Amino acid sequence: MSTHFFTAQDAAGRQCRIQVVRDDTAMQASHAATDRQSAYVLEDGSYVRRIDNDTFQVISTGAYVTRVAD
């Protein structure tokens, strides 16, 4: 399993970190299988759903966050 972090920002300008957890066995499979095996989690433990490459939605609140360059 591998872990990666990136920074995102909500509409009010608050920044948060999103953790991407991937199953390494899925890395050897197709690209579509890799996407299904990725989990996105905020630093407070809230799950996040990927909308597109830069947009994510917090499952519990429905709020959107956008990835920002590091």
pLDDT score, position 30: 46
Q: Where are the domains of the chain?
A: 2-67
pLDDT score, position 66: 97
pLDDT score, position 36: 56
What does the angle CA 63 – CA 20 – CA 12 come to, to the nearest 5 degrees?
25
pTM of the model: 0.74
Main-chain dihedrals φ then ψ at residue 30, nearest 5 degrees: -65, 165
- The residue among 52, 28, 27 whose CA lies nearest residue 40 is 52
Tens-digit pLDDT profile for residues 8-52: 999 999 999 999 988 765 445 544 444 557 899 999 999 999 999
Tell me whether strands 47-50 and 2-10 are parallel, antiparallel or unpaired: unpaired
| Distance separating alpha carbons of residues 2 and 58, to the nearest angstrom | 22
